[in-house]
Amino acid sequence: MLKMRKEVDFLVIGSGVAGLCFALKAANYGKVCIVTKSKIDEGSTRFAQGGIASVVYQPDSYEKHIQDTMVAGAELSDKHIVELTIREATARVMELVEWGVDFDKNKDGKFALAKEGGHSEYRVLHHKDMTGAEIEEKLILAAKKNTNIEIYENKIAVDIITQHHLGVEVTRRSTDITCYGAYVFNPDTNQVDTVLAKITMMATGGIGMVYEHTTNPLVATGDGIAMVYRAKGAVRGMEFVQFHPTSLYNPKESPSFLITEAMRGAGAILKDANGVSFMEKYDERGSLAPRDIVARAIDSEMKRQGVDHVYLDTTVIKKQEIFEHFPNIYAKCLSIGIDITKEMIPVVPVAHYSCGGIQTDEWGATSIRNLYASGECASTGLHGANRLASNSLLEALVFSHRACLKSVESLPSLSFCHEVPDWNSDGTVLNEEMVLITQSRKELQTIMSAYVGIVRSNLRLQRAFDRLDILYRETEDLYKKSILNPEICELRNMINVGYLIIRHAMSRKESRGLHYSLDYPPYKQ
CB 297 within 8 A of CB 248: no
DSSP string, 45-104: GGG--S-EE---STT--HHHHHHHHHHHTTT-S-HHHHHHHHHHHHHHHHHHHHTT----
Report the candidate in 105, 102, 104, 124 with the shortest Cα–Cα distance to residue 114: 124
Pairwise CA distance, residues 248 & 254, whole Å:
11
Phi, psi of 240 (to 5 degrees): -95, 80
Query: If residue 500 lies in a helix (H) or strand (E), which one and from where to where?
Result: helix 486-507
Pairwise CA distance, residues 308 & 41, whole Å:
32
- Preceding peptide of 59 cis, ω within 30°: yes
Report the candidate in 162, 192, 164, 134 with the shortest Cα–Cα distance to residue 1: 192
β-strand pairing of 149-152 with 124-125: unpaired
Residue 387: strand, helix, or coil: coil
Helix 223-230 with 486-507: angle, nearest 10 deg: 80
Q: Just list the catalytic residues.
A: 291
Could you report how far apart the first and last alpha carbons of the chain are, in Å? 60
Pairwise CA distance, residues 385 & 387, whole Å:
7
Q: Measured between alpha carbons, how far is residue 466 from residues 235, 241, 448, 473 in Å?
A: 21, 20, 12, 11
418-422, Cβ contacts within 8 angstroms, sequence gap of 24 or more: 418/196, 419/166, 420/161, 420/165, 420/166, 420/180, 420/181, 420/194, 420/196, 421/165, 421/166, 422/3, 422/5, 422/192, 422/194
3-class SS string, 111-178: ECCECCCCCCCCCEECCCCCHHHHHHHHHHHHHHHCCCEEEECCCEEEEEECHHHHCCCCCCCCCCCE
Amino acid at 421: P
Phi, psi of 469 (to 5 degrees): -60, -40
Pairwise CA distance, residues 59 & 70, whole Å:
19
Pairwise CA distance, residues 75 & 525, whole Å:
7
Query: If residue 505 lies in a helix (H) or strand (E), which one and from where to where?
Result: helix 486-507
Strands (E), 260-308: 269-271
